Amino acid sequence: MTKTVTFMTRNFNKYDVMSIDEYIAIGGFTALKRAITMDGEDIAREIAACQVKGRGGAAYDMGKKWSQARSEKNPEKVIVCNADEGEPCTFKDRTLIQNDPFNLLEGMIIAGYTMKAQNGYIYMREEYSHLRPILLNAIKQANEKGYLGKNILGVEGFDYQIHLYSGAGAYVCGEGTALVESIEGKAGRPRMKPPYIKQCGLYNLPTCVQNVESLSLVAGILNNGDTYKSYGPADCLGTKLVSVAGNVNRPGVYEIPFGMTVREIIYDLAGGVQGDRDIRLIQFGGASGKIAPASVLDTPYTYDDLKGAGVGVGSGAILVVDERTSVIDFLTTTQQFFSHESCGQCAPCREGNLHIKLLLQKVKAGTHTASDVKLLKQIAETMMITSLCGLGQAAQSALLAAMKHFPQTFEVK
């Protein structure tokens, strides 16, 4: 019987999330206490040894990012926790904030110590406004107990504060430069790069952005790195939160060891497909992720194996769509999302999304020509190469994958 694991989720339902005392009673802040006896470079190295890749979608090596952030010369730095979680079918960060807010805070405080930052910002989507009281309380109690504020845990000069900011319904604000614009109180239009935010981000300070799940791993790794490394195959250590939804019987967030097959995730954990129907397609990583037919089921869930199968981990979402939904209807809904979310700042994404929407309408109506299909592909590829930010670059991932796996959808009648 395939089972979930409890590394990141070990504290779920073990303490009252409104009580720092209960968190401390189950071992909370021991990782922070260890961290302050260490050199920041060694902390980054322990994370690197666990092969942690950022969990927000881009899968950047987290140990390396911390090490690079440390080497930035500016004496003032900021940490940002990206809790924008805007990818459809993604709700793992919500689960982490809801069930273990202090563990997230502890990870952020360790990040602050490691990178010598003075301020940390949690940028949480407006849609999660019901979680604000949990985080505000955690920040307040951490201040009262001396885990935030001045000379934290008696360490001279370790001054660090955490602030909670809210998004306002803009998916693009999950992109790093748009996110910092939004925290600065402006419309969240992505900035031109360079400069990169790691050098010049929020208020022009070096800024290290990490996803909620990435930061939620930190305390566990400093406490029990060996346990973490005992999960997963040698080239993809550890555990991962996946949010499985769509036409499955038991949608939800599951912590899996890397290497579990997609079939085990969908059938054993998520209870299989509603009404035992056949799978039309599976999308990995949210709306900006690629899709594959059911032949992907026996692929182990690791970065490399998924990539080999033409998909990817992305946001950790696994969307199962059964035979009742056609590929073109799926693509139309996905396109509606990107047409709505494009900030309209650069031409490839603004115009590309508009024209792809129109061309998809023709495909749906069956009135498309061979040159329409060619144009569809050309626009999608142009968007991927020339868009200013990741939104436009990844918006047509599903369409391009559909053209490869489901060519019959685009057949000219």
Partner 1 sequence: MMRDEKGMMTPELRAEIDAILTASGNDGSKLVGILLDIQDIIPMHYIPEEVAYYLAEKLNVKVSNVYDVISFYASLYDRPRGQYPIQMCESIVCGVNDNGFVFATLQEMLGIGLNEATADGKYYLECVPCFGACDVAPAVRVNGKVYGHLNSREKIEAMLAELV
Ligand X SMILES: Cc1cc2nc3c(=O)[nH]c(=O)nc-3n(C[C@H](O)[C@H](O)[C@H](O)COP(=O)(O)O)c2cc1C
Q: Which residues of this protein are in contact with partner 1, per CB under 8 A?
A: 85-91, 94, 125-130, 165-171, 182-189, 243, 245-247, 251-253, 283, 287, 319, 321-322, 324-325, 330, 333-334, 336-337, 340-341, 343
Residue 113, H or E segment: helix 101-115
Dump the DSSP string for 359-370: HHHHHHHT---H
Residue numbers of the site for ligand SF4 (CB under 6 A)?
Answer: 172, 190, 342-346, 349-350, 387-389, 391-392
Q: Which amino acid is at 198?
A: K
In the complex, least distance from residue 342 CB atom to ligand SF4, rounded to whole angstroms: 4
As measured in angstroms, the least distance from the Cβ of 87 to ligand SF4 is 14
Q: How far is the CB of 72 from partner 1 (least distance, A)?
A: 22
DSSP SS3 for 185: coil
Considering only the C-alpha atoms of the chain, give the largest distance between any 2 of them, rounded to a whole number of Å: 74
Judged by CB under 6 A, which stretch of 4-12, 171-179, 226-234, 300-308 contacts ligand X?
Answer: 171-179
CA-CA distance, 148 to 190, in Å (whole number)?
Answer: 31
Taking CB under 6 A as the rule, does residue 136 contact ligand X? no
Residue type, 25: A
How do strand 78-83 and strand 239-246 relate by DSSP bridges? unpaired
Q: Which is nearer to ligand X, 188 or 272 (CB)?
A: 188
Give the one entry of partner 1, ligand X, ligand SF4, none that residue 84 binds, where binding means its C-beta sits below a cut-off of 5 to 8 angstroms depending on kind.
Answer: ligand X
Spatial separation of the C-alpha atoms in residues 208 and 197, rounded to whole Å: 7
- Residues 80-109 touching ligand X, rule: CB under 6 A, are 82, 84-86
Strand 279-284 relative to strand 317-322, pairing: antiparallel
Q: Nearest 5°: phi and psi at 165?
A: -120, 150
Q: Which does 88 bind (CB under 5 to 8 A by kind): partner 1, ligand X, ligand SF4, none?
A: partner 1
Taking CB under 6 A as the binding criterion, the range among 262-270, 291-299, 321-329, 387-395 that sits at the site for ligand X is 387-395
Partner from partner 1, ligand X, ligand SF4, none binding residue 350, C-beta < 5-8 Å depending on class? ligand SF4
Contacted entry of ligand SF4, ligand X, partner 1, none for residue 345, CB cut-off 5 to 8 Å set by kind: ligand SF4
- Say which residues have a Cβ less than 8 Å from residue 351's Cβ, sequence separation at least 6: none
In whole angstroms, what is the distance from residue 201 CA to residue 175 CA? Answer: 12
44 CA to centre of own chain: 20
Options 156-164, 181-189, 207-215, 218-226: segment touching ligand X (CB under 6 A): 207-215
> What 3-state DSSP class applies to 291?
strand
Q: List residues near ligand X by CB under 6 A.
A: 54-58, 60, 82, 84-86, 172, 174-176, 209-211, 214, 389-391
